[in-house]
Structure formats: structure tokens, C-alpha cells
Structure 1
Amino acid sequence: MDGCSYKAAAGGSLSNTLVALARLGCQSISDRPLNVAMAGSIAGDPLGSFYRTKLRRANVNFLSAYS
């Protein structure tokens, strides 16, 4: 991808669903907020770190070895 411009984004059906649930949980109609977490493998490389950082900012927790 040398010489090409691009923008990285944490997306896909799983992460989009988790972010939507986390946003809905922030505005809970009950006394308890909804806690959202991902259980799965995320690599310990720069892209995995980027993915975790973006989802943590959206209040998604992780249940994986590289948390």
C-alpha cells in the first residue's frame, strides 16, 4: 500500500453490533447499565492494538489474552 492513502477503522458486523449495544447500555431505562464485552482472539500486533483501543473508547470490554 506504499504511496496510497487510506484510513483505518475498527468495523465489521461484530464490532458494529458491540458498539451499538454499548451505546444503548449507556442510556439504560433500568437502574443497571448494560455491560458489553467481546470474547475472542485479538492479535498482539499494531492492528490488534488499534482495534482494542477503538472499541475500548466505545465502552466495549475484552475477555481475551491481549487485553
Structure 2
Amino acid sequence: MRVELDEPKCVASGQCVLAAPEVFDQRDEDGVAILLDETPVEELLDGVREAVGICPAAAIRLVAQ
């Protein structure tokens, strides 16, 4: 699975970082999410799925490779 983050849509809520801190972080200057790992290991996918579901801007997608 591959994670896609649409940075321009991000509203800097930080929910993705709380759900999957190994996969997401936030820029210091504006809080916009950044993707740390585009292809996380299976053990991290539950957190990524949670991040997808709770992102208020729908800026995160999980797609099959």
C-alpha cells in the first residue's frame, strides 16, 4: 500500500500525526502535514487507515500499488 498526501488540502489539524506518528509529521512553520514514509510496513497501516478516516480535509489516501 502507498500513502498519498495532498499537502495543499491539509488544514494542519495534526490528527494524522496523532494516529500514525511513524508515517506523518508536521512542518514547524505552518503545521501542514508531511509524509515521512510513503510505503509503510503492514504493522503501521491501521494507524494510516485511522488517519485517512479522521483527516478533516480528506487530504490523505491509501492506495494499492
TM-score normalized with structure 2 length: 0.32
Larger Rg: 1
| Structure with the higher fraction of residues in helix conformation | 1
Structure with the bigger percentage of strand: 2
Q: TM-score, normalised by structure 1?
A: 0.32
Higher relative contact order (CA 8 A, sep 6+): 2
